[in-house]
């Protein structure tokens, strides 16, 4: 762990490092004070700051991004129950119509006494994400794609500046196949990240019967701070025996779950020793035990403490680590692949960093790649350095961003209060799925830059038109229904919201081109 120590050498531990902002305690007068009086952020009752953090931040007032964050979180809190109720009703109605074949089908099924009533845990029930994009099949890699360097497969074979022989089969990193059976690893991860939004029965059916892979399990993670299961992930392998990969896919931000959206934008962080400052909400989702910015072992112990979760419940990090160990032991040649979209992408990034913090060298030694889609920021520059030194030294981390997707641009980077930044290789696609690799962040990193306003609204309109007619050029797999088009229209109100849909990430992986010269 020498590299980790050097990564954190610039941050002496003189006291408790944490900044916890509790939006439920923010009052209207606090927001006015942030805007007008500009008092030090650590002086507010809704902020729980460590002693070292208070010294570091000093008299720094809360800037405009801190204020915007609290306004957004108050709005999300107010919308929590209405959105939850509306979301449940909309999903049930959409499934009711879909399962019965539309209005005429409903009438006919009533006559035949065969009306289908949706059940949320059934294998044929789809969430709103599934209604926006119902594709479940994996798309085989075109025979010519490896030879002509299309899509992102070139990315997957660039290791230490060297490009493997594409014709003889490339690798993400040593031992991880570029093409698994007839599918690119990138195709598998983006589809896994998409179906992670569905229920366990749906996911199992797709993995076993549609993909013809091997479903291992679907897991719910207990969040002791929210006192409920807030984290979902599933694990699968390409074969039941002698598998080549073990894949972990985390569920992302659900469209009607305002709590998920609030977590994404929250500026709260904890000092995690060598890991640096890490987003508190994502740590809680994986299994944080204490909001302790001084004692990392107490905050996130290496082994699950007794009684950390109610009987029958599991903590995401510890349960998934156990499952991964068992699977890697059962498949000696397999490599570990981690993925997720949105909030799931954040968890996919923090999870291997925790493995490194806990010295899980055997698991990290088998890590093949981390590939995330529409991922929010998860930590500060020290975290990025730690991840690069301890995780990326043996694998590849690709962070795919589609156009003006709002989520990769939160939490806001608001130094010195919150210094969130991105790591990994940013693979950025524009509205026509032309891709490039960026050395840093995507354009308009804090979302509210007025220079991008016209472009953002223009992109939202362009995406709506493209969604309506893309199928005429790309084929029937790209035909979008009314639910998807209505969701795209939301981008005309909040630009960047519709760009967060997994549909565009799937389209980018399948249709996008990326210039080889940008990778070499």
Q: Is 405 a catalytic residue?
A: yes
Q: Is 500 a catalytic residue?
A: yes
Distance spanning both ends of the chain, measured CA to CA: 30
Q: Is the dihedral of CA 369, 370, 374, 376 positive or negative?
A: negative
Q: Which of 244, 342, 385, 499 is catalytic?
A: 342
Under 8 Å between Cβ of 155 and 514: yes
> How many Å apart are CA 152 and CA 161, to the nearest integer?
16
Peptide bond into 411 cis (omega under 30): yes
Q: What is the DSSP string of 74-120?
A: HHHHHTHHHHHHHHHHHHHHHHHHHHTTHHHHHHHHHHTT-PPPP-T
User: Under the phi-then-psi rule, with left for phi > 0, alpha for psi from -120 to 50, and beta for the rest, what region is 102?
Assistant: left
> How many Å apart are CA 254 and CA 190, to the nearest integer?
16
Distance from the Cα of residue 198 to its chain's centroid: 15
Q: At what angle do helices 381-390 and 343-357 cross, to 10 degrees?
A: 60
Q: Which of 156, 484, 500, 504 is catalytic?
A: 500
493: phi then psi, degrees, rounded to nearest 5: -95, -50
Rounded to 5°, angle at Cα 123 from 376 and 213: 75
C-alpha count within 13 angstroms, C-beta hemisphere, residue 311: 0
Name which of 505, 224, 189 is nearest 348 in CA terms: 189
Tokens of 283: 């740590």
Q: Which of 405, 441, 463, 504 is catalytic?
A: 405
Q: Is 268 a catalytic residue?
A: no
For residue 18, what is the DSSP state? E
Which residues are tagged catalytic? Answer: 342, 405, 500
């Amino acid at each position: 762990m020498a590299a980790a120590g050097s990564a954190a050498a610039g941050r002496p531990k003189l006291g408790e490092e944490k900044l916890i902002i509790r939006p439920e305690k923010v009052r209207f007068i606090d927001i006015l004070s942030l805007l007008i009086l500009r008092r030090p952020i650590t002086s507010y009752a809704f902020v729980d700051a460590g002693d070292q953090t208070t010294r570091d931040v000093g008299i720094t007032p809360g800037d405009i991004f801190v204020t915007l964050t609290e306004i957004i979180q108050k709005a999300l809190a107010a919308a929590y129950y209405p959105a939850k109720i509306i979301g449940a009703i909309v999903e049930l109605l959409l499934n009711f119509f879909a399962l019965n074949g539309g209005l005429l089908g409903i009438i006919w099924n009533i006559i035949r006494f065969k009306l289908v009533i949706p059940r949320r845990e059934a294998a044929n029930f789809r969430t709103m994400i599934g209604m926006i994009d119902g594709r479940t099949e994996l798309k085989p890699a075109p025979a010519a794609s490896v030879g002509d360097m299309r899509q992102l497969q070139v990315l997957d074979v660039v290791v230490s500046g060297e490009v493997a022989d594409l014709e003889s089969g490339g690798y993400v990193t040593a031992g991880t196949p570029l093409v698994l059976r007839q599918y690119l690893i990138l195709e598998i991860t983006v589809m896994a990240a998409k179906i992670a939004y569905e229920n366990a029965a749906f996911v199992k059916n797709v993995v076993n019967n549609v993909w013809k892979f091997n479903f291992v399990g679907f897991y719910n993670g207990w969040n002791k701070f929210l006192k409920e299961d807030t984290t979902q992930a599933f694990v699968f392998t390409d074969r039941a025996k002698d598998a080549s990969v073990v894949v972990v896919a985390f569920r992302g931000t659900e469209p009607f779950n305002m709590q998920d959206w609030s977590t994404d934008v929250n500026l709260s962080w904890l000092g995690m020793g060598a890991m640096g400052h890490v987003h508190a909400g994502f740590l809680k989702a994986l299994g944080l035990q204490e909001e302790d910015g001084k004692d990392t072992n107490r905050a996130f112990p290496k082994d699950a403490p007794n009684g950390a979760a109610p009987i029958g419940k599991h903590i995401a990090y510890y349960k998934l680590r156990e499952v991964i160990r068992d699977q890697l032991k059962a498949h000696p040649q397999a490599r570990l692949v981690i993925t997720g979209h949105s909030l799931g992408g954040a968890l996919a990034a923090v999870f291997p960093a925790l493995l490194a913090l806990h010295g899980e060298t055997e698991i990290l030694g088998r890590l093949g790649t981390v590939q995330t889609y529409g991922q929010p920021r998860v930590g500060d520059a020290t975290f990025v350095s730690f991840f690069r030194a301890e995780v990326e030294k043996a694998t590849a981390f690709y962070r795919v961003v589609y156009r003006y997707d709002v989520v990769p641009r939160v939490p806001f980077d608001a130094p010195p209060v919150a210094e969130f930044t991105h790591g990994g290789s940013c693979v950025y696609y524009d509205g026509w799925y032309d891709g490039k690799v960026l050395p840093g962040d995507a354009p308009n990193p804090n979302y509210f830059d007025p220079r991008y306003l016209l472009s953002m609204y223009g992109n939202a309109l362009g995406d709506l038109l493209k969604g309506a007619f893309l199928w005429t050029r790309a084929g029937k797999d790209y035909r979008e229904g009314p639910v998807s088009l209505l969701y795209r229209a939301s981008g005309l109100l909040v630009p960047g919201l519709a760009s967060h849909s997994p549909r565009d990430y799937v389209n980018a992986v399948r249709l996008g081109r990326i210039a080889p010269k940008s990778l070499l």
